[in-house]
Amino acid sequence: MNPRIEKLAAKKLIGHHINMSLSNNQTGQLWGQFAPRIKEIQHRASADKISLQVYPPSYYSPFSPHTAFEKWATVEVTSFDNLPDGMKPFILEGGLYAVFDYKGSSADPSIFQYIFSNWLPNSNYRVDDRPHFEVLGTKYRNNDPNSEEEIWIPIREK
């Protein structure tokens, strides 16, 4: 599976966030709190949802499933006006991304194993220190083997 390489423009996002680790995954709880309130958000740029991770600079060296990171449940907006109570703005800075069109269950980690163990070491890129995210469009179905999403990995040339 080869990704497309895209230069992303900065995006305005609104959502909720928590600190968690892979070994203490609270993604379901985060989305469970956020998803029912999406209808309160004005100025939406699309119907897509964005699941975003902000990893500390040392996250991958050495990698541990117990290392904490910031996880966001968000949607893109055109304006931060009228922010719903309890929600936070987030500016996703632009940059170069490898975009993987993934079809499969979100509970299956094999796509990330492929990206970081196979594709990335054999590419002309390395991971950049910017947020990673997934675009959950109309074909996304949580934990469904027929689900479709885009996985955006921040990259820079080696």
Domain residue spans of the chain: 4-157
Q: What is the separation of C-alpha 57 from the centre of its chain, rounded to a whole number of angstroms? A: 16
| Segment 11-40, tens digit of pLDDT | 999 999 999 999 999 999 999 999 999 999
Q: Does the domain made of 4-157 have the CATH classification 3.20.80.10? A: yes
Phi, psi of 147 (to 5 degrees): -70, 150
The per-residue pLDDT for 134 is 98
Cβ within 8 Å of residue 139, ≥6 positions away: 147, 148, 149
The tokens for 100 are 């993987």
User: What is the token pair recorded at 96?
Assistant: 């170069």
- As a whole number, the mean pLDDT across the chain is 96
Q: What is the predicted pLDDT for the residue at 60?
A: 83
SS (H, E, C) 89-154: EEEECCEEEEEEEEECCCCCCHHHHHHHHHHHHHCCEEECCCCEEEEECCCCCCCCCCCEEEEEEE
**Average pLDDT for 53-63:** 90
Residue range 68-116, pLDDT digits in tens: 999 999 999 999 999 999 999 999 999 999 999 999 998 888 999 999 9
Tell me which residue has tokens 């990673």: 132
